[in-house]
Structure 1
Amino acid sequence: MLHHGDCLQVLPTLPEASVDLVVTSPPYNLGINYRSFDDTAGRGEFIEWCKAWAAELKRVLVDEGSFFLNVGASPANPLLPHQIVLAFTEGPEPLFVLQNTFHWIKSITVETRGGEQISAGHFKPINSKRFVNDCHEYVFHLSKRGDVPVDRRGAGVPYQDKSNIARWGHTGGVDRRCRGNTWFIPYDTIQSRDKERPHPASFPVGLVEQCIRIHGKGEETRLLDPFLGIGTSAVAAQRMGVKEFTGIELDDYYLSVARERLAPPKEEQPGLF
């Protein structure tokens, strides 16, 4: 179900404890040029706004649910992600507990054993004498009590050294290990940003898929994204066949793009044969 409107108006209409998983990326308050949102509010005002919708997320989330919050920073505002998560987790009555912190790696350079340097991924270059290129964002895993089980292997990777499968008893003979908290998930290569990614701050489908995997409920997941944008989380839900998806988007154009992305290809639509 896709809703057009302000999340602070739509979220209160959703039933209590009706969502298993929240994956979202709110506006960052870094002056990004969104179509229908002023991303230049004062920091205190912005944090209070974040706490308002986070309180609604807590209400609609089941007790064993997970909330994955993707937040980026800018070199001139490096503390913003931490200020948001502290606002959610501190105080006499904190909204959430920070259970895991993941680092979404957009671009990386690694050196092989042979000494070759290999660069992979995409990032927005920074032209500065003070700062280096920013090639990562945070994904904070929040929960109500900090004790939600996660499917470490479901979101894991095969062993590079296969002898470890038999060497370590905890493997149970399964060629799968915990991936850890660094996720290299590059953007898909596109030809035209205006046509293929008409949103200033979208994340890849693979990022949401990884959150669905690690939450571990598979197709039974009831997923919510209160800042839908152009529908990336909805596309991930569709690909993974989740039971129920709810998305909320303020901008009518972004919502129309989301609906287009979810529509079946023309050759699969009825009446075209």
Structure 2
Amino acid sequence: MLQARSLCSRELECSVNFWLYGVRSHAIFPPVTKFDLRSEDCVQGMSRLTNESVDLVVTSPPYNLGIDYRQYADRQDRQSYLNWCAKWSTQIRRILRANGSFFLNVGSAPSNPMLPHQIVIELTSASGGFFLQNTIHWIKSIAVEDREGDLKSHGHFKPINSKRFLNDCHEWVFHFTKTGRVELDRLAIGVPYQDKSNIARWSHTRGSDLRCRGNTWFIPYETIQSREKERPHPATFPVQLAEWCVKLHGVSRVRTMLDPFLGIGNSAVAAQRCGVKKFIGFEIDEAYLAEAKRRIE
């Protein structure tokens, strides 16, 4: 009766409860998430949030790569951009709880490969105050050989017309915490062992055919027919990426989740799927905000 896709624990509990009470439906009934989506600059908006009031932040700011946003100039000089990153990250650190997690998705351009690492240096400096606890590689496209030796490509990427640079098929997801010691629910996004003998070999498995996925996440974009209708934003991460971040931190420990750069609301959809109790999002573009609200209705 349950759908085949992996469910957040609260989704699963809720769908089972509906089945027990005789509801004849194959639909999933996630708990209701309370949304607070605001048309506001995130630095100003976060300044009004209470200290240590957020458990989880999943976000992706503009990358300063000249992307054509409607309400934001995505091309500053390097130091101005890093100073701006320091402003919003300072607010995130203030409102994040001591055992909270901050997942930051950042991309780069082949001609500007150091920018993500400079952001990390800024956020982990003495003034930044964060610890980089994990570095995750989001793989958007990959080519691998199958068992017959045939090469198969999976996923999507934007090709680069260059004789110097390779196509950029991945982005970074940096996991920051306040202490560097926040425990995670690693098996919430775990994968089965390829060699089943490892189940008995390693005591930490406790007989379970499930291991940590690791820090390489292959999450392709869904194939769409119309960007204007289905993905009306120039730079989004998939809902599944945010969903894995929620699960990895631990769904049961997320009372309040925040995305200061909401865009069209993929992180909000992930929060809804996982049954997060409260979600706060900031977005300065009214059109993107309207789309985010539509997608969680």
- Which of the numbers 165, 168, 171 marks the counterpart of 2:202? 168
What does residue 78 of structure 2 align with? Answer: 43
Runs of 4+ in 1 over 6 A off after TM superposition: none
CA distance in 2, matches of 1:95, 1:37: 27
- How much has 1:113 moved relative to structure 2? 3.7
Which range moves more in the overlay, 56-65 or 211-220? 211-220
User: Which residues in structure 2 correspond to 1:132-147 (within 5 Å)?
Assistant: 132-147=166-181
Does structure 2 conserve the Cα–Cα contact (< 8 Å) formed by 1:229 and 1:249? yes
- How much has 1:219 moved relative to structure 2? 7.0
Matched residue type, 2:206: G
What does residue 266 of structure 1 align with? Answer: none
CA distance in 1, matches of 2:254, 2:40: 26
- How much has 1:115 moved relative to structure 2? 1.5
Structure 2, unaligned stretches of length 5 or more? 1-35
- How much has 1:195 moved relative to structure 2? 0.8
- How much has 1:221 moved relative to structure 2? 3.6
What does residue 150 of structure 1 align with? Answer: 184
Query: What is the TM-score when the length of structure 1 is the normalising length?
Result: 0.93
The structure showing larger relative contact order (alpha-carbon pairs under 8 Å, at least 6 residues apart) is: 2
Does structure 1 conserve the Cα–Cα contact (< 8 Å) formed by 2:55 and 2:253? no
CA distance in 2, matches of 1:109, 1:219: 37
Which range moves more in the overlay, 44-53 or 92-101? 92-101
User: Which residues in structure 2 correspond to 1:1-273 (within 5 Å)?
Assistant: 1-90=36-125, 92-218=126-252, 220-263=254-297
Structure 1, unaligned stretches of length 5 or more? 264-273
Aligned length: 262
Matched residue type, 1:152: R
Query: What is the TM-score when the length of structure 2 is the normalising length?
Result: 0.86
CA distance in 1, matches of 2:87, 2:294: 30
Matched residue type, 1:237: A
Does structure 1 conserve the Cα–Cα contact (< 8 Å) formed by 2:160 and 2:167? yes
CA distance in 2, matches of 1:193, 1:219: 35
- The CA RMSD over aligned residues, in Å, is 1.1
CA distance in 2, matches of 1:197, 1:219: 30
- How much has 1:217 moved relative to structure 2? 3.3
- How much has 1:120 moved relative to structure 2? 0.5
CA distance in 1, matches of 2:225, 2:262: 23
